[in-house]
Amino acid sequence: MDISTIILYILALVLLIVSFIKDRKKTKMGIKKGWMAFKKILPILIPLFLIVGIILTVISPDMIKFALGENSGVIGVFIGLIVGSISFMPPFVTYPLGVELLEKGAGYPQVAAFVTTLMAVGIVYFTAETKFFGTKSAILRNGLGFIASLIVALVVWGVM
Amino acid sequence: MTMKKIIKNKTLLVGILILLVLSIYDISLGIKSLKSASFQILSMLKIVPPIFLLIGLLDVWVPRETMIKLMGKKSGVLGIVIAFLFGTFAAGPLVGAFPVAMIMLKKGARYANVIFFLMTWASSKLPILFYQSTTMGLKFTIVSNVTLIVVYLVGSLVLEKSFSKKELDALYEHVEEMAK
């Protein structure tokens, strides 16, 4: 368990104790509300992670190396943006892969495009996101992530 | 989940269908997909108890007026700072942020602030920043995240502007229905 998860647990626990001391009835209601929210969201999450599992299997780091390693320049940036948008990867896989891509000869802007969209654009999350906030919001938020990633790639190109 | 619910859940059906096709093509790919899906679910379940506990407590303890004051339409810089702090001190994947954002909206937080919170959670969580700087280098981490935060700030306001008042009202109504 990483440090941020531990902090999250400690925070939740401390607040729970404080809440319990202040008002037992309210605390019980809070726990019930949290549980209800979880039960409502679970049917959205299960299929999501099934698709994440499939994408993790089908789009392997080797494929990404192949797609990004050979292509430099503006085309490389766009390939990075698209591959990063459609794939899913936990951060502890993403950044070492980014380093490996750099060592293999990919440029910083191309790698920036890839790792940034990976975090900010989630095509796999899309259906879940529409259920929470509607289609327009989901499209626009992912669009913002995509444009922001493009700008990051350009800034990195200029600065590094 | 009952059978009826599974059939109604289109994403699940699509997932199962892809999984079947993949397994017919190569059974080891199907097994590998299921394995990594269950690994993902397990790692998500680790952060579920504190997040939903916090959501529940937030719901009963923070009155709507307080949330409006802190993150609502007239909260200004304070709202942005709070959105940033909530996003950067987070843990877990972006899906974990959706229910938190939902409660924020339900309590009357400003849409632009909630989008800024979601984007910060997605890109600039503290643990990710540390990890990013040890792997990709400090310069890359600073350049990319400063750029991101500026773009997200402007972008969240532009996004809000693109919604008509009617659309925004419908969004808040939808969230309230979801958060019941």
Tokens representing residue A85 in the block: 């948008």
Most confidently modeled of A5-14, B9-18, B56-65?
A: B56-65
Q: What is the pLDDT of residue B10?
A: 81
Q: What is the pLDDT of residue B6?
A: 66
% of residues, chain A, pLDDT over 70: 98
Say yes or no: B157 contacts chain A, CB-CB below 8 A.
Answer: no
CB atoms within 10 A of CB B43: 15
pLDDT tens track for B64-122: 999 999 999 999 999 999 999 999 988 778 888 999 999 999 999 999 999 999 999 99
**CA atoms B123, B127, B128, B130: torsion sign:** positive
Q: How far apart are CA B135 and CA B140, in angstroms?
A: 10
Question: B125 vs chain A: nearest CA distance in angstroms?
Answer: 9
CB atoms within 10 A of CB A32: 13
| Angle at the Cα of A38 from the Cα atoms of A36 and A41, rounded to 5 degrees | 110
Of A16, A34, A133, the CB nearest to B175: A133
Mean pLDDT of B29-57: 90
Q: How far apart are CA B156 and CA A149, in angstroms?
A: 15
Of B37, B56, B105, the CB nearest to A53: B37
CB atoms within 10 A of CB A73: 10
Q: What is the pLDDT of residue A23?
A: 96
CA distances from B110 to A21, B55, B86, B176 (A): 32, 18, 14, 14
The model carries a pTM of 0.90
Q: What is the pLDDT of residue B2?
A: 62
Tokens representing residue A106 in the block: 């990919």
Specify whether the CB–CB gap between B163 and A135 falls below 8 A.
no
Contact B18 A51 (CB under 8 A): yes
Q: For the stretch B99-126, what's the b/e string if a residue is b when 16 or more beta carbons lie within 10 angstroms of its beta carbon? A: bbbbbbbbbbbbbbbbbbbbbbbbbbbe
pLDDT tens track for A84-135: 999 888 888 889 999 999 988 889 999 999 999 999 998 888 988 999 999 9
